[in-house]
Structure 1
Amino acid sequence: MGVFTYTDEYTSSVPPARLFKALIVDSHNLIPKLMPLAVKSIDIIEGDGGAGSIRQINFGEGSQVKSMKNRIDELDLENFSYKYSLIEGDGLMNKLGKITYDVKFEPTRDGGSKSKMSSTYYTKGDIVLTEDEIKEGKEKALGMYKIVEAYLLQNPDAYV
């Protein structure tokens, strides 16, 4: 088994509390509304939405990925940090045992936020992921981030 870790950082003019509430805490409600063709639903299938809960993401028709299951490993509402693992589904591409994510939203001096994300891929056997496979996953995550950010900028009273 191979283990590969990648880190990314994004900045936004939206404060960390709003981004965290929208992207993490209420994502199961907001994301399907903002991206109905891409994400059909996000269902909490085990637990109360906190640490230990399992969420199933169901993707829209025509998507290469039909569904995925994430386990919430840590949810820190005060420090705007979130750790979760992709544990099951098409997103693992039959190449991965799991992917773990560590996300932290921090305030910036201008009132916005800096989002730090670390992704750790656990491959099966001797499989090596290509740069294109990693890049595709990053681009999808960034696309969702940008859609939520745009929604929050257009709706200043949402998630305050």
Structure 2
Amino acid sequence: MAAGCVITEECSLAVSADRMWKVTCSSDALLKACAGLIDAVNVEGDGGPGTVNTLTLSAAAAAASGGGLMKGRVVACDDAARVLRNEVLEGGRVKGQLKSLVNEVKLEAAGDGACVAKLTMEYERLDGGGALAPEDQAELVGGYLGMFKTVEAYLVANPAEYA
């Protein structure tokens, strides 16, 4: 990746890392927890590296993200470390300004019933330029943080789910 093309962000969540991980790694759980945001999830593979996940976004989410489909390939999935790395193949900004985008999410325990989601995004622009403008970076990160918060809200409202 070119220098300056990495975004990092952290998000504190009021649910355990184990519960968040269970939803993150299950298409059925993600669909249930993100009802209203995601309309369908299609999985091609066993969930490990090489698996292609296609999320069909709701009309509202599609309008906010610039596209109705998010398609990615699992690069790495480490259950013990709770790290998921995906290459975005299609959707949102990848179609517009970016040649490539790889996201890594790491969930770390942060006390009783809480965790921190650490997001790292590495990208390369189509025009070969450096970092995206701050507002474009914020928009790119915002979609992922919004999904974390949606899952968190679902898990807080349903404390027995994925326990």
Identity %: 26
Deviation (angstroms), 1:31:
3.6
Letter paired with 1:38: L
Which residue of the partner structure matches residue 148 of structure 1? 151
1:54 corresponds, among 27, 37, 52, to: 52
User: What is the Cα deviation at residue 37 of structure 1?
Assistant: 3.9
Count of matched residue positions in the alignment of Structure 1 and Structure 2: 157
- Structure 1 gap ranges (5+): none
Q: How far apart are residue 97 of structure 1 and its match? A: 1.5
The reply on whether 1:95 has 2:94 as its aligned counterpart is no
Please list every run of 5 or more consecutive structure 2 residues that lacks an aligned counterpart in the other structure: none
Q: Which of the numbers 64, 67, 83 marks the counterpart of 1:65? A: 67
Q: If the length of structure 1 is used for normalisation, what is the TM-score?
A: 0.86
Q: CA deviation at 1:135?
A: 1.0
Q: 1:141 to 1:118 in 2, by over 3 A?
A: same
Separation in 1, partners of 2:95, 2:135: 13
Letter in 2 for 1:10: C
Root-mean-square deviation (Å):
2.1
Query: Following TM superposition, by how much is the alpha carbon of 1:71 offset from its aligned partner in structure 2, in angstroms?
Result: 0.5
Cα 1:105/1:36, change in 2 over 3 Å? closer
TM-score between the two structures when normalised by the length of structure 2: 0.84
Counterpart contact for 2:11–2:118, Cα < 8 Å: yes
Higher mean C-alpha deviation, range 104-113 or range 32-41? 32-41
Letter in 1 for 2:20: L
For structure 1, which segment, 11-20 or 120-129, has the greater mean C-alpha deviation from structure 2 after superposition?
120-129
Q: Which amino acid aligns with 2:25?
A: V
Change (3 A) 1:31 1:7: same
